[in-house]
Amino acid sequence: MKLISKVQVKNKNGLHTRPATAIVKMLQNVKSDVTFTYKGDTINAKSILSILMLAAKMNAKITISVEGENAEETMEQLVRAFDNQFEEQQ
């Protein structure tokens, strides 16, 4: 099963090191394939360098694609993390 969802980066500094690290930690034991697409670039969301290379700023819209085992649970965790700004204070 392949799930696709759009999220908005709410962090004032965009997808910088702290949220990128949180994403990679969240996905480290996930067996699904997870990709982010932004401005035509699609990257492996399990790679911190790839996430940082997206250079997604605040209010950027990112498309998340999750395919494989536990796809629904993985998507829910990612969408919740983006909505909660990765627990960063504004």
d(CA 25, CA 61): 22
d(CA 9, CA 16): 11
d(CA 69, CA 6): 20
4 classed as catalytic: no
Q: Is 89 exposed, middle or buried (0-12, 13-18, 19+ CB in 10 A)?
A: exposed
Selected catalytic residue, list 15, 16, 34, 66? 16
By annotation, the residues acting in catalysis are 16
